[in-house]
Amino acid sequence: MTNPLLNQTDLPRFSQITPEYIEQAIDDLLANARKVVDECLNANLLYNWKNLIEPIETAEDFLNKAWSPISHLNAVMNNEELRDAYNACLAKLSDYATGMGQNEKLFHAYKSIVSCETFKTLSKAQQKVIANVLRDFQLSGVALPMKQKKRYKEISQQLSALASNYEENVLDSTNAWTKLISDVNELAGLPETALAQAKQSAEIFQMEHNKKNVGSFHVKPENSGWLITLQFPSYLAVMTYADNRELRREHYTAFVTRASEGDFDNTEIMEKILALRHEEAQLLDFVNYAELSLATKMANSPNDVISFLEDLVQKSLPQARQDLNDLKKFALENYGIENLQAWDVSYLSEKMRQQHYQLSQEDVRSYFPSTKVLSGLFEILNRLYGLQISEILDFDRWHESVQLFEICDRAGQKRGRFYLDLFARTKKRGGAWMDDCIGRRKLDEHNIQYPVAYLVCNFTPPTADTPSLLTHDDVTTLFHEFGHGLHHVLTQIDYSGVSGISGVAWDAVELPSQFMENWCWEKDALALISSHYQTGEALPNSIFEKMLAAKNFQAGMTMVRQLEFSLFDFHIHLDFDPQRGGRIYEILNNIRQRISVLPIPEFNRFAHSFSHIFAGGYAAGYYSYKWAEVLSSDAFSLFEEKGIFDAETGRAFLTNILEQGGSDDAMTLFKNFRGREPSSDALLRHNGIQVNDRNN
Asked whether the beta carbons of 619 and 573 are under 8 A apart, the reply is yes
Nearest to 614 by CA among 302, 170, 96, 292: 170
CA angle 540, 546, 552 (to 5 degrees): 140
CA atoms within 13 A on the CB side of 417: 17
Other CB atoms within 10 A of residue 440 CB: 25
Nearest to 362 by CA among 456, 464, 474: 474
Catalytic hit among 57, 168, 350, 481: 481
Which three-class secondary structure string do you get for 150-181?
Answer: HHHHHHHHHHHHHHHHHHHHHHHHHHHCEEEE
Give the DSSP letter of residue 537.
P
CA distance 441 to 129: 13
Active site residue 481: yes
Distances (CA, A) of 563 to 309, 324, 396, 559: 7, 16, 41, 6
Distances (CA, A) of 466 to 60, 135, 201, 471: 45, 52, 14, 14
3-state helix, strand, coil in the chain (%, to 5): 60, 5, 30
CA distance 350 to 398: 37
Asked whether the beta carbons of 255 and 230 are under 8 A apart, the reply is yes
CA distance 582 to 568: 12
Nearest to 634 by CA among 470, 454, 508, 520: 508
Backbone angles phi, psi at 297, to 5 degrees: -120, 170
CA distance 329 to 572: 35
Give the DSSP letter of residue 55.
H
Give the DSSP letter of residue 120.
G
Asked whether the beta carbons of 402 and 419 are under 8 A apart, the reply is yes
Strand ranges of the sheet holding 433-438, from the earlier edge strand across to the other edge: 388-392, 403-408, 414-423, 452-459, 433-438
Asked whether the beta carbons of 657 and 512 are under 8 A apart, the reply is yes
User: Which residues are catalytically annotated?
Assistant: 481
